[in-house]
């Protein structure tokens, strides 16, 4: 009998997003990935064939697979982020298909914020446009570790290696400024399936991987911060159980660990308040555990009865976050009404929502040059820029580069309740000093 040499490898998840201009063929590319990797089901194909007979003159339109809304099929564009799922023997994949049209850039940010990898599509005929730059800049801003530049519609430029190199050179001109390190260029035709799943006979000059084999192989080391323990408290777990003595006194703090590792018996600091205590129990539904790590969801029972509630954060006293009411951040502005200094918002950071006022706009990023520019008119829809904020209560945070979960926030309009901005915090200039925070016991 054959014995397995090692336990089966953990099947991991690669999340990626696709972006490009209108008509670059994103939806077609995803349709092709699903079709050629045999991830499409017969009834989906039949539905495609039916709609092909009705509207496509008999030609199957792979874009109809992802363009699920009526308005999208009518206008032939993607309006919102569509999520697709497929699996190979190696990996599970979650695709966020983000719209290309400039007015939907906020949806691209939505799709990209959780991605490990970003695919930027370029029409080989058109070359690098403002949208390609914007999308690459957003991928860089969000610190997506891997980038694929898919040069699509190569069939329409006669599979010209020169054209491919030209586009590559256009990208390489601005990539260094964005600090993108892992970039893979792939010449392909989504419509014909060349270099998507199977290597193309038309590109003998290209020695690199197909898109799918790159997606399967790319190394996605842990995106999670495993160094600085952070637990934003989501919910206080108090059973109030009159009949059960043990449950009567149970008081746990539930949340998803946003950084680091926590062990039973460890000292933690509760913010705000700054009181030290020890972790008495790490409770889970499946029993108490000795340690837990990011991004697990747990409930901590502490040795002391502290004033801790939703919005508080439990942290490692040796690796303190920054804290304060003055924040400095990059943002993507997502609302048609321009952002002007002085406007007030609700700022949601981890599980903590506080009032905030924008005290200044430092600059906006010029997409053409990727250089900062003055922003006398404020930030307009889809602008990337840098701002300063003051909050009504202290926020405890890390730089976005150190921890995506404790370094990010959204701004909510207090009147309309719309989400109007995504923010990425600069590293704190100094760690929180617990002795300065209010004691409340």
Partner 1 sequence: MSGYQLDHLQHLETEAIHLMRECAGEFERPALLFSGGKDSICLLRLAEKAFRPSELPLPLLNVDTGHHFPELNEFRDRRAAQLGARLIVRRVEDAIAQGLAVPAPGEISRNRLQIPTLLAAIEEFRFDCCIGGARRDEEKARAKERFFSFRDRFGQWDPKNQRPEIWNLYNGRLHGGENMRVFPLSNWTELDIWEYIGRERLEVPSIYFSHRRACVRRGGQWLPVSELAPPRPSEEVRELSVRVRTIGDIISTGMLESPATSVGDIIAEVAAARVTERGSRADDRASEAAMEDRKKAGYF
Subset of 418-437 contacting partner 1 (CB under 8 A): 418-419, 422
Our finding on whether 235 is near partner 1 (CB under 8 A) is yes
For residue 293, what are its two tokens? 């790590």
Applying CB under 8 A, does 12 fall inside the site for partner 1?
yes
- Nearest residue to 98 (alpha-carbon basis) of 114, 89, 109: 109
Cα gap 302→276, rounded to integer Å: 10
| 58, 70, 176, 374: residue in contact with partner 1 (rule CB under 8 A) | 70
73 lies in the site for partner 1, by CB under 8 A = yes
Q: Which of residues 345-384 bind partner 1 (CB under 8 A)?
A: 346, 348-351
Closest CA to 282 of 268, 302, 267: 302
Backbone angles phi, psi at 186, to 5 degrees: -130, 125
- 396/69 Cα distance (integer angstroms): 41
Report the distance separating Cα 35 and Cα 16, nearest Å. 18
Piece in contact with partner 1 (CB under 8 A), picked from 146-154, 233-241, 361-369, 433-441: 233-241
Considering CB under 8 A, how many residues would be counted as binding partner 1? 75
158: closest CA among 194, 199, 118, 105?
194
Q: CA-to-CA distance for 160 and 27, rounded, in angstroms?
A: 24
Show contacts with partner 1 in window 151-170 (CB under 8 A): none
Verify binding: residue 220, partner 1, rule CB under 8 A.
no
Site for partner 1 in 236-275 (CB under 8 A): 237-241, 247, 250, 254-256, 261
| Rounded CA separation 353/366 (Å) | 31
User: Of the candidates 279, 347, 274, which has an alpha carbon nearest to the alpha carbon of residue 313?
Assistant: 274
> In terms of CB distance, is 87 or 198 closer to partner 1?
87
Out of 56, 75, 85, 440, which residue is the one contacting partner 1 (CB under 8 A)? 85
Site track for partner 1 across 291-310, x = CB under 8 A? --xxxxx------------x
Query: Of 17, 27, 61, 110, which lies in the binding site for partner 1, with binding defined by CB under 8 A?
Result: 110
280 contributes a contact to partner 1 by CB under 8 A: no
Q: Does 42 help bind partner 1 (rule: CB under 8 A)?
A: yes
114 is a contact residue toward partner 1 (CB under 8 A): yes
Please select the residue that binds partner 1; options are 58, 219, 243, 285, rule is CB under 8 A.
285
What mask of x and - would describe binding to partner 1 in positions 385 to 414, judged by CB under 8 A?
Answer: -------------------xx--xxx-x--
Give me the least distance between CB of 378 and partner 1, in Å please.
19
Ranges within 115-154 binding partner 1 (CB under 8 A): none
Q: Which stretch binds partner 1 (CB under 8 A): 169-177, 220-228, 263-271, 313-321?
A: 220-228
* Binding residue (CB under 8 A) for partner 1 from 24, 26, 35, 106: 106
Kindly tell me which of 307 and 371 has the beta carbon lying closer to partner 1: 307
The yes or no reply on residue 226 touching partner 1 (CB under 8 A) is: yes
Among 23, 36, 37, 51, binds partner 1 (CB under 8 A): 51
Q: Closest separation between CB of residue 362 and partner 1, Å?
A: 21
CB atoms within 10 A of CB 4: 6
């Amino acid at each position: 009998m054959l014995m397995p040499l090692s336990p089966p490898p953990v099947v991991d998840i690669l999340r990626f997003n696709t972006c490009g201009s209108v008509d670059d063929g994103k939806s077609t590319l995803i349709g092709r990935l699903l079709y050629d990797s045999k991830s499409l089901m017969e009834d989906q194909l039949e539905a495609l064939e039916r709609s092909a007979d009705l509207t496509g003159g008999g030609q199957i339109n792979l874009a109809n697979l992802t363009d699920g809304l009526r308005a999208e099929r009518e206008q032939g564009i993607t309006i919102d982020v569509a999520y697709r799922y497929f699996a190979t023997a190696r990996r599970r994949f979650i695709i966020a298909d983000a719209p290309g049209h400039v007015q939907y850039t906020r949806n691209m940010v939505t799709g990209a914020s959780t991605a490990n990898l970003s695919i930027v599509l370029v029409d080989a005929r058109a070359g690098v446009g403002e949208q390609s730059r914007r999308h690459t800049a957003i991928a860089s801003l969000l610190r997506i570790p891997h980038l694929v530049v898919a040069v699509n519609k190569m069939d329409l430029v006669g599979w010209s290696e020169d054209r491919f190199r030209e586009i590559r050179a256009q990208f390489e001109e601005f990539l260094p400024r964005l600090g993108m390190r892992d970039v893979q260029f792939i010449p392909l035709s989504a419509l014909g399936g060349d270099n998507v799943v199977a290597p193309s006979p038309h590109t003998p000059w290209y020695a690199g991987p197909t898109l799918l084999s790159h997606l399967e192989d790319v190394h996605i080391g842990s995106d999670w911060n495993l160094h600085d323990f952070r637990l934003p408290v989501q919910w206080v777990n108090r059973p109030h159980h009159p009949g059960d003595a043990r449950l009567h006194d149970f008081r746990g703090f539930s949340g998803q660990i946003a950084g680091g590792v926590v062990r039973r018996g460890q000292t933690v600091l509760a913010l705000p308040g700054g009181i030290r205590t020890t972790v008495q129990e790490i409770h889970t539904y499946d029993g108490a555990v000795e340690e837990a790590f990011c991004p697990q969801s747990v409930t901590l029972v502490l040795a002391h009865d502290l004033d801790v509630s939703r919005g508080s954060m439990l942290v490692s006293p040796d690796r303190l976050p920054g804290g304060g009411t003055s924040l400095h951040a990059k943002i993507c502005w997502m609302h048609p009404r321009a952002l002007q200094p002085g406007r007030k918002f609700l700022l949601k950071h981890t599980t903590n929502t506080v009032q905030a006022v924008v005290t200044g706009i430092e600059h906006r990023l010029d997409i053409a040059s990727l250089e900062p520019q003055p922003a006398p008119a404020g930030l307009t829809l889809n602008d990337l820029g840098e701002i300063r904020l003051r909050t009504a209560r202290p926020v405890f945070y890390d730089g976005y580069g150190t921890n995506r979960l404790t370094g990010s926030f959204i701004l909510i309009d207090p009147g309309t309740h719309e989400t109007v901005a995504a923010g990425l915090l600069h590293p704190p200039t100094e760690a929180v000093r617990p002795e300065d925070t209010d004691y409340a016991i």
